[in-house]
């Protein structure tokens, strides 16, 4: 099992290119199931989650050809509309095949999902969405069985008690594009990834409007065709690099991103005293001293993203003063705080709030990653810490960041991957 060894204390300086968004690529792959014609997703990041999703598609019987970073997916011939537990348990996003398989075949079995250990993420909103389209849904031996002779458009409210669900919005939207009549999704998630999937569906011949707003309208069509699409940049990776520049008191330029999707994050960096500037496709970050304490509450887009909460926790652990972070999306997303405390951080957890008493500097230690974004937070902490940090279980990181250690090395970091 690989691990990172980091010698911290070096400012990161230079420029880095942002990868394409994993959280868009995975549902885009699933959307290719909606047509027999070939679809191509360009500029695909080389990640473990991408490999897992492609493995699932092959298991269903889909033809997958990857040339460089272009993935051609052809869902023709005889397919098996089932997503087995052995694959779905490894990655929650595998569940995105539910909507397309139901719309295409009218009968499918999809295992209940897995993913990071960051608290319960119920699938009730996914099931509510497809049931509203006329599907009969039941749970049998750990699988969701969904059947419908004909899907019919309907008006539904998908917002849950913790706000809109990105996954449920996308899954229902993909199912509805082949339903008869109009579907109206109220309480829809507004995340950029929802917009990207809607744009791809429209390229395939769907009629989706309102993506990026709380109300999405879909006029069902009889058939979709193949299309070529390049996913949006990864806003979470861009945000991670921005925090890396701040926590190491460095000077970074992040290219190939879309800062308009990171307004809440960049504003918080400015509030912390970090110099941040941006244009249409790049972000410039410069920090000359420790950040100032700030307060953060995670929220659905356009609020502060939960996927950058852990990285900001690492940053605020060395802030001047006491900060608070309130996690409103996932119930168990503070496991990284225990590991940061091993590095000298002073973080107290009460319910869904972390109180962070800033210290002057973190100390290197051996720590263990619990999930994808916690891994990123520990890497950032190690880059800023005095001495050597060893991070175990970095396979979590490989799910969502491509060659992160190589990108940081080019920026001046002393970080290496050690294979066990």
The catalytic residue positions are 116
Cα atoms in the Cβ-side hemisphere of radius 13 Å centred on 272: 38
List of residues 6+ apart from 257 with CB closer than 8 A:
18, 233, 234, 235, 238, 281, 282, 283
Strand-strand pairing, 414-418 and 82-83 = unpaired
Burial of 243 (C-beta count, 10 Å sphere; 0-12/13-18/19+): buried
Helices (H), 66-137: 85-88, 98-105, 124-132
Q: Which of 257, 249, 281, 278 is nearest to 266 (CA)?
A: 278
Angstrom CA distances, 104 to 46, 85, 148, 312, stand at 28, 21, 10, 42
Spatial separation of the C-alpha atoms in residues 312 and 240, rounded to whole Å: 9
CB of 313 closer than 8 Å to CB of 347:
yes
Phi, psi for residue 162 in degrees, rounded to 5: -110, 20
- Which residues make Cβ contacts (< 8 Å) with residue 339, sequence separation at least 6? 367, 368, 369, 370, 374, 378
- Alpha carbons 241 and 230: distance in angstroms, whole number: 22
- 19: which 2 tokens? 């990868």
Distance CA 83, CA 97 (A): 8
Length of the chain, in residues? 420
Q: What ranges make up the beta strands (E) of 334-419? A: 346-350, 353-357, 366-368, 388-392, 414-418
């Amino acid at each position: 099992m690989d691990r990172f060894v980091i010698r911290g204390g070096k400012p990161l300086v230079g420029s880095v290119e942002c990868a394409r968004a994993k959280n868009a690529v995975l549902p885009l792959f699933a959307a290719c199931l909606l047509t027999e014609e070939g679809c191509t997703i360009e500029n695909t990041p080389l990640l473990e989650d991408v490999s897992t999703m492609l493995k699932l598609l092959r298991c269903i019987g889909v033809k997958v050809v990857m040339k460089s970073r272009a993935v051609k997916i052809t869902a023709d011939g005889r397919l098996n509309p089932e997503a087995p537990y052995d694959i779905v348990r490894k990655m929650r996003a595998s569940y995105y095949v539910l909507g397309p398989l139901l719309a295409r075949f009218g009968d499918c079995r999809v295992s209940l999902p897995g993913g990071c250990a960051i608290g319960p993420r119920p699938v009730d909103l996914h099931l509510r969405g497809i049931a509203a389209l006329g599907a009969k849904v039941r749970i049998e031996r750990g699988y969701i069985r969904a059947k419908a002779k004909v899907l019919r458009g309907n008006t539904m409210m998908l917002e849950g008690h913790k706000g809109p669900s990105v996954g449920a919005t996308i899954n229902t939207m993909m199912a509805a594009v082949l339903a008869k009549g109009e579907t109206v999704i109220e309480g829809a998630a507004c995340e950029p990834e929802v917009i990207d999937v809607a744009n791809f569906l429209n390229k395939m011949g769907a009629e989706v409007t309102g993506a990026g707003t709380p109300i999405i309208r879909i006029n069902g069509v009889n058939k979709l065709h193949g299309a070529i699409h390049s996913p949006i940049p990864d806003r979470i990776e861009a945000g991670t690099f921005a925090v890396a520049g701040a926590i190491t008191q460095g000077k970074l330029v992040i290219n190939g991103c879309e800062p308009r999707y990171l307004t809440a994050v960049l504003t918080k960096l400015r509030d912390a005293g970090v110099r941040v500037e941006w244009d249409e496709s790049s972000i410039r970050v410069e920090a000359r001293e420790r950040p100032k304490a700030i307060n953060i509450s995670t929220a659905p887009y356009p609020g502060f993203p939960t996927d950058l909460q852990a990285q900001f926790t690492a940053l605020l652990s060395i802030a001047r003063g006491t900060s608070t972070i309130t996690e409103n999306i996932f119930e168990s997303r503070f496991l990284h705080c225990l590991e940061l405390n091993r590095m000298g951080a002073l973080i107290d957890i009460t319910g869904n709030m972390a109180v962070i008493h800033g210290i002057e500097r973190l100390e290197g230690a051996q720590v263990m990653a619990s999930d994808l974004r916690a891994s990123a937070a520990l890497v950032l902490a190690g880059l800023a810490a005095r001495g050597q940090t060893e991070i175990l279980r970095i396979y979590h990181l490989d799910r969502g960041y491509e060659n992160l250690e190589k990108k940081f090395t080019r920026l001046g970091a002393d970080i290496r991957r050690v294979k066990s």
